[in-house]
Amino acid sequence: MGVAVGALVATVVGFAPGAVADDVQSKQWYLGPMQAEQMWKVSTGKGVKVAVIDSGVKADTPSLKGQVLVDETPKSVAYGATTDYSGHGTTMAELIAGTGAGGGLKGLAPGAKVVPYRIELDDLKGGAEEKKKTPEPEDAIRAAADTDAQIISMSFGAQAPIPKEKEAIEYAASKGKLLIAAVGNDGRRSGDTIGYPAAYQYVVGIGAADKSLTVSNFSSAGNYVDLSAPGQGFPGWCDAFFRSYCDDVNGTSSAAAIASGAAALIWSAHPDWTVNQVTRSLIDTAGRTWAKNDPSKYAGYGFVRPRLVLENSNYNAGPAHVDPLAGENRGDLLAKSGTSSTSPSPSASTPSQAPEKGSTGSTSAAGSSAESSKDDNTLWVVLGAVAAVVVVGGGSVAVARARRAR
């Protein structure tokens, strides 16, 4: 089975790692508004491991040297884990835990570590033999669930649910893993087409936002969007040669990676928290202009803001053994399994893999608010609405929110 990674159209630009740290990282526009430098004084994600299930992770890019725990990928699914034909998985790893060294991308959680997994995608080069050796998504998810990685980041998708994959997701959830996935990039074609695994229960589905914090118009919308994060307007790898970054590698894939980094920051600062508490803190502090109990089909519970958790040393994340999404998940698998926590380790149908169509435009939802930082004049602008009027193909379409019926 082949699945699609969530890459979008990218424009190749001629800046090479090793010479342009300022140029590359200055294009990571969200680091300023999210007050990354301030957050890193409290937490860098140290001690947290993130399983990146994707197109593989090239472990020796300047930004990832020392960040990829190659030996911790279970042998049963280790084939090709550090081979990346598209650059997609490597970009996700850098957005999560890149150090920024050598002019590379700076991860939101540069103290975290990545455990790489390559799954069967349609970019495989070795024909039937390579396809046979490369793990299916469900095999990688199950394998990751049996490790001490706390977060499983998934920036791939298919249009239909797969029973074995669904079972693997539930198994990982029962093990106390935080499952984060890109919702897909079909917003322009079909506003309610959200891919799997994001649409499974127990997975936190992430939509994308642009520099103005407007939901990107390529970001899939519907009943399975849980949160949104920056996913448009910054560089990434886009081929197998890793000679230079490409500009504007847009997609919900990047948003899912950044949300995974946000979760890593929080879990590192609160290593005794359960997955329920980390998830609840992300939901409760998300930026939104709508009621928390009435999520937007575009941005879910809002835009991730881990700063609000980190800046409050007495932050109350609520009960450890109550799933904040239990109503949507049809129960709490963590509680049913008897698993109490997953704490950081002491040391730190088959679609093609053709890139999904992207755009530099955006879908603007009505309503806005701005929060002034207490530290500086940066504004964290939140745009979105529960019932919004959006422009699609030149026409005005009223979009009503109908929350999950999973």
Show the 3-state SS of 208-255.
EECCCCCEECCCCCCCCCCEEEECCCCCECCCCCCCCCEECCCCHHHH
Long-range contacts of 318-323 (CB under 8 A, 24+ apart): 318/276, 318/277, 318/280, 318/284, 319/276, 319/277, 320/273, 320/274, 320/276, 320/277, 321/274, 321/276, 322/276, 323/276, 323/279
Q: Which of 86, 88, 226, 248 is catalytic?
A: 88
Per-residue pLDDT for 13 more than 80? Answer: no
Question: How many domains are there within the chain?
Answer: 1
Let me know if 345 is exposed, middle or buried by CB neighbors in 10 A (0-12, 13-18, 19+): middle
Q: What confidence score (pLDDT) does residue 127 get?
A: 78
74 part of a folded domain: yes
Q: What confidence score (pLDDT) does residue 192 get?
A: 63
Q: What confidence score (pLDDT) does residue 380 get?
A: 28
219 part of a folded domain: yes
Averaged pLDDT, 30-45 = 97
Strands, DSSP E only, in 77-184? 113-118, 151-154, 156-157, 178-182
88 is catalytic: yes
Query: Residue 25 in contact with residue 97, Cβ under 8 Å?
Result: no
pLDDT of 293-307, one tens digit each? 999 999 999 999 999
**Cα–Cα distances in angstroms (integers) from residue 103 to residues 62, 90, 188, 261, in the given order:** 8, 15, 33, 19
User: Which of 158, 280, 289 shows the shortest CA–CA distance to 213?
Assistant: 289
Q: What confidence score (pLDDT) does residue 375 get?
A: 25
Which sign does the torsion angle of CA 60, 66, 68, 72 carry? positive
Confidence of residue 101 (pLDDT cuts 50, 70, 90): very high
Query: Residue 183 in contact with residue 225, Cβ under 8 Å?
Result: yes
What lies within 8 Å, CB to CB, of 80 at 6+ separation is 56, 118, 130, 133, 134
Q: Which of 54, 247, 248, 332 is catalytic?
A: 54
Residue matched to tokens 């026409």: 395
> Is 297 strand, coil or helix?
coil
Residue 63 or 406, more confident = 63
Q: Which of 253, 260, 281, 362 is catalytic?
A: 253
Confidence of residue 6 (pLDDT cuts 50, 70, 90): low
135 part of a folded domain: yes
pLDDT of 112-140, one tens digit each? 999 999 998 766 676 788 888 999 999 99
380 part of a folded domain: yes
404 part of a folded domain: no
Averaged pLDDT, 214-241 = 94
User: Which of 223, 231, 214 shows the shortest CA–CA distance to 289?
Assistant: 214
Residue 295, token pair as written in the block: 């999520």
CATH number, residue 234: 3.40.50.200
405 part of a folded domain: no
Query: Residue 103 in contact with residue 20, Cβ under 8 Å?
Result: yes
For residue 372, how far is the Cα from the chain centroid? 26
Q: What confidence score (pLDDT) does residue 338 get?
A: 56
71 is catalytic: no
360 part of a folded domain: yes
> Can you give the residue range of the structural domain that contains 383?
4-399
268 is catalytic: no
Per-residue pLDDT for 346 more than 70? Answer: no
* Total number of residues shown for the chain: 406
Q: What confidence score (pLDDT) does residue 359 get?
A: 31
What lies within 8 Å, CB to CB, of 337 at 6+ separation is 174, 175, 176
